[in-house]
Amino acid sequence: MDKLRDCFDEMVVYKDLKQNSTFKALKLPSFLRDWVLKKFEDEDGHFDVDELSSFVEAYMPKKEEWLKIKNRIIVENERVKILTKISIDIDIKTEEITFSLPDFGLSNKETVIEPHIWNTFKKELVKGHETWGIVELGYRQPDDSAKPKIPGKIMLTGFTDFCPYSIDMDFYKDIRSEFTTDEWIDILLGAMDYNAEGYANEEQKLAMLTRLLPFVEKNLNLIELAPKGTGKSYVYGNISKYGLLTDGGKVSRAKMFYDTARKTLGYITGHDYVAIDEVKLVQFSDVNEMRSILQGYMEKGRCDVNGFEVASDAGIVFLGNIETDNMDEYRNMLTELPSLFQESAMVDRIHGFIKGWDIPPMQPGLKVSGWALNTEYFCTIMHALRDDITYRAIVEQLVEVSDNGYERHIEAVKRIATAYLKLLFPNVRSVKDINAKKLQQYCLRPAVRMRGIIQKQLAILDKEYAKDEKQMPTFSLREISDED
């Protein structure tokens, strides 16, 4: 798309997921793949496969190669550079600065960052709970003669930020005005690695884009139930370096929120969202404890764990496959899920429902093949949009709600509508910038539908939610005057 290249220039890469098997073999998440593509592609979208493969082999080792890397660092006394995510910790008592490499199982107890190295790279390393970059590792030899003895540790000796460029949000917002709504929807799909032409209609495209809402809005909790093969795990596990997809299995308070024994924060901190995959098969280690903590966190964005307050902006997304016969919003769709989801208090705190059966199963025609927005750039943009409160202010100004509406319904609809506004109309800076018809069609109406399904499920689970005071209120847009 020439217009896309003209407008976004260097933030566009050529993606050929239909034909090119190079990246499929490398098994890189989309944001990493596009970072590599941007580094090696020429102006025509071509790259040298051998050169690219050599870079990946040198800087992006597999987890099972960690023993070889340790041997090079500790035994061979080499400096080793790898592209990975790094997490920093500062000990309150000793002021010692350490790091961990989550993808390789390297813990803070085995590492150290010397003061001069910290002073050089701290600006980049404190950007978030976890930071992506090229880390250079060395080894600090043990000193048995010192009192107390100094143990051997892996040192951070250098760091290159994964995202050295600055994001110009004003540019991104302004450039949106160069595209029609249809064109913009297609651009967003390309950034997600999908071919817009492979979808039958706009409804299918928008259903896919709905998965991005927790990427742009803080503390947005969603549930998606769908048939197998629609790409849920791909979107939540590959598109953003700021999100986390869990593999299901056992979900505990310690893993999700706070480990009181180790005094370490869980998944929920430092991520934009935590997507719990295969929720139908998830086992909660202590159902009563998780019920209490989840409900508190999903309501307020914070919770208390044995006197320790955990606070985060991360939304929680539940993903599950259910039988085709159960894909009906007018009947109980949660029967196949763990007991936690059979309780209205828990379900009420989920803001919206994604009908995964509206998303077509993955097939070759849906894979992008052509110029598209760089996923690494796009996920950074979405991360930055989370901090922009002007969109919620616009929704508050424009959306009117019928009297005595149930507060959780109102908050859920406004939060979802705000996320849609950020995603589809980032160029909107005031109420005068948005077309009321489009706001209704693309933001408010879908938000009401998503929350409406939750309300139907609540009424099935609990008769209290079938009462008038807990029905969905009426949402409308007020007219904009010249004074606004």
User: Which tens digit of pLDDT belongs to each residue from 391-401?
Assistant: 999 999 999 99
* Dist. CA 362–CA 360, nearest whole Å: 6
Given a cut of 80, whether residue 368 has pLDDT beyond it is: yes
- Going by C-alpha positions, the residue among 160, 167, 105, 114 that lies closest to residue 139 is 114
Assign 442 to helix, strand or coil.
Answer: helix
* Dist. CA 183–CA 113, nearest whole Å: 47
Dihedrals φ, ψ of 162, to 5°?
A: -65, -30
Give the burial class of 129: count Cβ atoms within 10 A of its Cβ; 0-12 exposed, 13-18 middle, 19 or more buried.
Answer: middle
Q: pLDDT at position 12, please?
A: 95
* Dist. CA 101–CA 125, nearest whole Å: 13
- Going by C-alpha positions, the residue among 36, 25, 27, 37 that lies closest to residue 370 is 37
- Going by C-alpha positions, the residue among 45, 140, 133, 56 that lies closest to residue 98 is 140
DSSP state of 351: -
- Residue 284 — pLDDT band, cuts 50, 70, 90? confident
Given a cut of 70, whether residue 216 has pLDDT beyond it is: yes
Planar angle of CA 303, 219, 464, nearest 5 degrees: 75
- Cis before 360 (ω within 30): no
Given a cut of 70, whether residue 483 has pLDDT beyond it is: no
Q: List 83's β-bridge partners, or say none.
A: 134
Assign 401 to helix, strand or coil.
Answer: strand
How far is CA 271 from its chain centroid?
Answer: 7
* Dist. CA 305–CA 303, nearest whole Å: 7
Highest mean pLDDT among 20-34, 124-138, 254-268, 400-414: 400-414
Q: pLDDT at position 428, please?
A: 97
Mean local confidence (pLDDT), 83-106 = 92
Provide the whole-model pTM: 0.91
CATH 2.60.120 fits 63-161, yes or no: no
Domain 174-364 in the same topology as domain 63-161? no
The single-letter code of the amino acid at 437 is K
Mean local confidence (pLDDT), 281-308 = 91
Q: pLDDT at position 165, please?
A: 66
Q: How many CB atoms lie within 10 A of CB 463?
A: 9
Given a cut of 60, whether residue 482 has pLDDT beyond it is: no
Given a cut of 80, whether residue 18 has pLDDT beyond it is: no
Q: How many CB atoms lie within 10 A of CB 431?
A: 18
Q: Give the fold, CATH level 3, of 174-364.
A: Rossmann fold (3.40.50)
Structure tokens at 196: 């817009």
- Residue 382 — pLDDT band, cuts 50, 70, 90? very high
Sign of CA dihedral 97, 103, 106, 109: positive
Which is higher by pLDDT, 57 or 101?
101
Q: pLDDT at position 39, please?
A: 87
Contact 87, 129 (CB under 8 A): yes
Taking the CA atoms of residue 57, residue 58, residue 60 and residue 63 in that order, the dihedral angle to the nearest 10 degrees is 80
- Going by C-alpha positions, the residue among 352, 354, 345 that lies closest to residue 465 is 345
Structure tokens at 449: 């539908």
- Residue 20 — pLDDT band, cuts 50, 70, 90? low
Helices (H), 301-387: 344-347, 375-385
3-state secondary structure 258-315: EECCCCEECCCCCCCEEEECCHHHCEECCHHHHHHHHHHHHHHCEEEECCEEEECCCE
Planar angle of CA 358, 359, 365, nearest 5 degrees: 140
The DSSP annotation for 189-210 comes to HHHTTB-GGGSSSHHHHHHHHG
Domain ranges of the chain: 63-161, 174-364, 388-477
* Dist. CA 84–CA 467, nearest whole Å: 52
Mean local confidence (pLDDT), 130-143 = 92
Assign 160 to helix, strand or coil.
Answer: strand
The single-letter code of the amino acid at 55 is F
**pLDDT tens, 149-176?**
889 999 999 999 887 667 899 999 999 9
Given a cut of 80, whether residue 19 has pLDDT beyond it is: no
Mean pLDDT of the chain: 92
Planar angle of CA 185, 245, 307, nearest 5 degrees: 120
Q: pLDDT at position 21, please?
A: 63
Q: pLDDT at position 252, please?
A: 87
Contact 88, 96 (CB under 8 A): no
Cβ-Cβ contacts under 8 Å for 343 (sequence gap 6 or more): 291, 461
DSSP state of 469: G
**pLDDT tens, 448-481?**
999 999 999 999 999 999 998 899 999 999 876 5
Assign 417 to helix, strand or coil.
Answer: helix
Q: List 274's β-bridge partners, or say none.
A: 244, 316
